[in-house]
Amino acid sequence: MMSDQAWEIEPSGPLRGDISVRGAKNAVSKHMVAAMLGREPSTIANAPEVGEVAITAAMLDHLGTAVERRDGEITVVPGAVADPDVPKAFTGLNRIPILMLGPLLHRAGEAFVPLVGGDPIGHRPVNFHVAALRAFGAEVEVAADGIHARAARLTGTRIDLPYPSVGATETVLLTAVLADGKTVIRNAATEPEIIELALFLQRMGARIAFSPDRRIVVEGVRELSGAQTRLGGDRLEAFSYLVAGLVTGGEVRVHGCSQDRLVTAITTLARMGARFEITDEWIMASAPDGLRPAAVQTDTHPGFATDWQTPLMVLFTQADGMSVLHETVFENRLVYVPALKGMGCEIEVFDVCLGGPACQFHDTNAVHSAVVRGVSKLRGGDVTMPDIRAGFSAVLAAAVSDGISVLRGVHHIERGYHRPVEQLRALGLNLRRR
């Protein structure tokens, strides 16, 4: 996956057909890290073929944990940790290294991980992770090149998260399961991927309970065994393909992602005029009477997910009227808007809270609201994609543009979507690699 690869997309009319999504990109790598904690191998089925898996596997391999991949199944075989330092070569590639701190402290008593990476969508609250690890009793030093940690033993504690951060909640779970005593997480994230990780840890022998009001209680155990699990479908990928059908005037039937993971998204699209057919096996969306505008605010689960707003923004350009988007999770999530405007999308962005109550970015300089005018006539462009979800939004814009588009930085999409070229071509999109 070279960063200089590009896709050439020529609009080919409505996208129609069937798509199958695999397990979530945001879940598979976290399960691989959790498997480090077991005494025996663990197996993760329905894994996507994404760049994120290869990056995480390479880190685990360096740490003495072997990873075997075959036909959508990942087997993680824990081994002795000879070197508890994640190489600096992994700096900025994804957000996984910081999640390894807790497991490495349990396994080796010390650790170093390079600075967190991932998509440039806003501030990653590394301080939440550091504060949590210190509360467990670890000595943690944040340096210019990464984070050093040391602990003879970790003790259960009470963690009050200032914000229900997914990553920080994962760090606490991965640390608490083998800590001495009880840990209580208050204001925890409750995204489906968090629940899925907790269930996997429970299969490994962890004692985890969910309480009302975003509380998670973990009673530490002495050791964990291996476990087997099958990942649930990627709700972010499923939404992207449903929108691909709607934005082009077609219809896409998405298999492999259960309805409960898309409840808020389905209702949001229905308000815009989408019609749904839903079974236990698949979900299909179409908009034979066109699309209406909407006002949507992103939020933590069970609200409208921040990762859903990038495809939604392109859909807004094809709805008849003025739509409003209020991003409340990441302050820089609208970084992709200039590229869409270059393709003819009529979008204006603001640093005030529009379309919802005041959020955490109120009275800051964060540009986090957008007003979109539709129906816009889009034109082909030469676009460099800054991150995974913005990359898919550019694909959607290219699919309804007048003329050919060249999309650069496609490694971002291939890091997070399962076989995107094959999937998009199966829907009828004229896509060529360059």
Residue count of the chain: 434
Residues paired with residue 85 on neighbouring β-strands, in sequence order: 112
| pLDDT score of 246 | 98
- Give 44's Cβ-side CA count (13 Å radius): 33
Decide if 234 is catalytic: no
pLDDT of residue 125: 60
Which is the catalytic residue, given 4, 61, 71, 119?
Answer: 119
Per-residue pLDDT of the chain (434 residues; tens, 9 = 90+): 345 689 999 999 999 999 999 999 889 999 999 999 999 999 999 999 988 899 999 999 999 999 999 999 999 999 999 899 998 888 776 788 999 999 999 999 999 999 865 434 344 568 899 999 999 999 999 988 889 999 999 999 999 999 999 999 999 999 999 999 999 999 999 999 999 999 999 999 999 999 999 999 999 999 999 999 999 999 999 999 999 999 999 999 999 999 999 999 999 999 999 999 999 999 999 999 999 999 999 999 999 999 999 999 999 999 999 999 999 998 888 988 999 999 999 999 999 999 889 999 999 999 999 999 999 999 999 998 877 778 899 999 999 999 999 999 888 888 889 999 999 999 999 999 98
- What pLDDT is attached to residue 2? 42
At 350, the amino acid letter reads F
pLDDT attached to residue 117: 53
Rounded CA gap, 207 and 292, in Å?
A: 47
341: helix, strand or coil: helix
pLDDT of residue 331: 86
Contact 36, 30 (CB under 8 A): no
Q: Tokens in use for 150?
A: 């040391």
The rounded distance, in Å, linking the Cα atoms of 237 and 74 is 20
The predicted structure's pLDDT at residue 356:
83
In whole angstroms, what is the distance from residue 95 CA to residue 116 CA? 5
192 preceded by a cis bond (ω within 30 of 0) = no
CA neighbor of 25 nearest in space, from 210, 190, 191, 203? 191
3-state secondary structure of 299: coil
SS3 assignment, position 190: coil
Tokens of 69: 């991949």
pLDDT score of 175: 98
Query: Is there a contact between 48 and 28 (Cβ–Cβ < 8 Å)?
Result: yes
User: Domains in the chain and their CATH numbers?
Assistant: 6-21+233-433 (3.65.10.10), 25-230 (3.65.10.10)
DSSP 219-287: E--S-B---EEEPPB-HHHHHHHHHHHHHTT-EEEEES--GGGSHHHHHHHHHTT-EEEE-SSEEEEE-
